Amino acid sequence: MNLFKPVKLRHYLKLMEDQGFSTAQVLAEVDLKRELLHGQIVRLEQYQQVVRNMIALTGDQGIGLEMGLRTDFADLGLVGHALMASRTLREAIECWIHYSLPLVGVPVQVHLEENAQQWALRIDEPMPLGFLYNFCVEECLVIIAKLGCEIAREDLGQLGMTVEVSYPAPAHVQRYRTLFGDALTFNAPATRVHFASVDLDQPLPGSDAETYLILSRQCRLALRQQQKSSPMRAQVLSMLNQRLGNETTASDVARQLNVSERSLRRRLAAEQCNFQQLLTESRMTLAMDYLEHSNMSAKEVGFLIGFKDANSFYRAFQQWTGNTVLAWRRARHGTPLQKFS
């Protein structure tokens, strides 16, 4: 989703204040006020600016690791309390998968992968995050390790945890090594946390079945309320971004949002847009982000956002921007457009 409850942002403000930074400094150039963060929904770009401010204020490119270390269950709001009461590790993971993004404000998506020997958590971008992805991965890795130990009441060594990260080793790589030891690989095909010696379905020591059922129901209600209060346009864009590369119709999106296709189109029309416009907007935004911030070829980008052949993508991109993919990409990297027109 592109809209979050600001649970994590409130936590960041508290941690930054502990380091001597004011709310005004952390929220600089962000259209947010602290007193509104308990009832407001925040956008991805607001989240990005807050993290950008935190890095600039502290000069710490690895601040995501620090944020993870200083996160406890109570800092995760309703979802954190549900995690504490979970009956099994699988139940805790499923709770995190369903609710961490919209109800906590952690803009990376976790997926559970299982085979006969072990299981893993894969961390993906449900939408292009740019620099924010590294921050979120760092924070998420530490939270997974820390809360996993607390939930299972085991130390990290007993969890049999190994980490693969999809990006190159950063300048602060030694901080990773201190936290995760030698069981750490960079430049992997995907970001995954593997567990070799933990039973997903074994009852957890601190579980409380009755409390979990109450809290999980509250999570469902909170999510439903958030979805209803969000503009339909934002919900559709969020759904399109999450279905990146899949052939998605208005009927598919309506079914995912639990509304009829007719109702979907009517509500979009009331917001002065339509499904095709939003599909184009989603593709255009994602294409520009990948062309600017990745080394993927234009053909790969076109395929990734749902075009079946490269020529169709090239034509669409020129209609969107008035420039060829090559000219636009070179211009974004500081080379004048006219030299390549």
Q: Kindly state whether residues 24 and 123 are assigned to the same domain.
A: yes
Domain CATH code at residue 266 = 1.10.10.60
Confidence of residue 167 (pLDDT cuts 50, 70, 90): very high
- Cβ-based neighbours of 301, under 8 Å, separated by 6 or more: 287, 290, 291, 294, 313
Domain CATH code at residue 171 = 3.90.1520
Confidence of residue 165 (pLDDT cuts 50, 70, 90): very high
Structural domain contains residue 242: yes
Structural domain contains residue 218: no
- Is the pLDDT reported for residue 312 higher than 60? yes
Neighbours of 103 (CB within 10 A): 24
pLDDT tens digits, one per residue of 199-230: 888 888 888 888 888 888 888 877 876 766 56
What's the average model confidence in pLDDT over 170-193? 92
Structural domain harbouring 122: 3-209
DSSP letter for 196, please: S
Q: What are phi and psi of 249, to 5 degrees?
A: -110, 170
Q: How far apart are the C-alpha atoms of 51 and 150, rounded to whole Å? A: 27
Q: Kindly state whether residues 290 and 145 are assigned to the same domain.
A: no
Q: Kindly state whether residues 198 and 161 are assigned to the same domain.
A: yes
Q: Kindly state whether residues 258 and 164 are assigned to the same domain.
A: no
**Structural domains of the chain, count:** 2
Q: Kindly state whether residues 48 and 189 are assigned to the same domain.
A: yes
Is residue 234 classed as helix, strand or coil in its secondary structure?
A: helix
Q: Kindly state whether residues 198 and 89 are assigned to the same domain.
A: yes
pLDDT tens digits, one per residue of 92-143: 999 999 998 888 888 898 999 988 778 899 999 877 788 889 999 999 999 9
